[in-house]
Amino acid sequence: MKALEKIKEITAFLENCGIDDAHKESEIIVTHCLGIDKTALYRDNPVLSEKNIKDVDVVLRRCAQREPLQYILGYVEFYGLKIKVGKGVLIPRPETELLAEEVIKQFTVHSSQFTVLDLCTGSGCLALAIAKRFPDAEVYGTDISKDAIRYANENARLNDIRNVTFLKGSLFEPLKQLVTRHPSPVTFNMIVSNPPYIRSSDIANLQPEIKKWEPRNALDGGEDGLNYYRTILSEARKYLMLNGVVFLEIGEGQAAEVSEIAMQNGFRNISVIKDYAGIERIVTVRAL
| The last residue of a domain, from among 16, 35, 65 | 65
Helix residue ranges per DSSP H, 222-269: 227-235, 255-264
In this prediction, residue 181 carries a pLDDT of 47
How many structural domains are present in the chain? Answer: 2
Rounded CA separation 192/172 (Å)? 12
Residues 28-81: tens digit of each pLDDT:
999 999 999 999 999 999 999 999 999 999 999 999 999 999 999 999 999 999
Against a cut of 0.85, is the pTM above it? yes
Rounded CA separation 147/150 (Å)? 5
Q: Which domain holds residue 55?
A: 3-65
Regarding whether 89 and 33 lie in a shared domain, the answer is no
Regarding whether 48 and 94 lie in a shared domain, the answer is no
Regarding whether 182 and 87 lie in a shared domain, the answer is yes
Pairing mode of beta strands 75-78, 269-274? unpaired
In this prediction, residue 109 carries a pLDDT of 62
In this prediction, residue 131 carries a pLDDT of 96
Residues 120-176: tens digit of each pLDDT:
999 999 999 999 999 999 999 999 999 999 999 999 999 999 999 999 999 999 998
Regarding whether 270 and 194 lie in a shared domain, the answer is yes
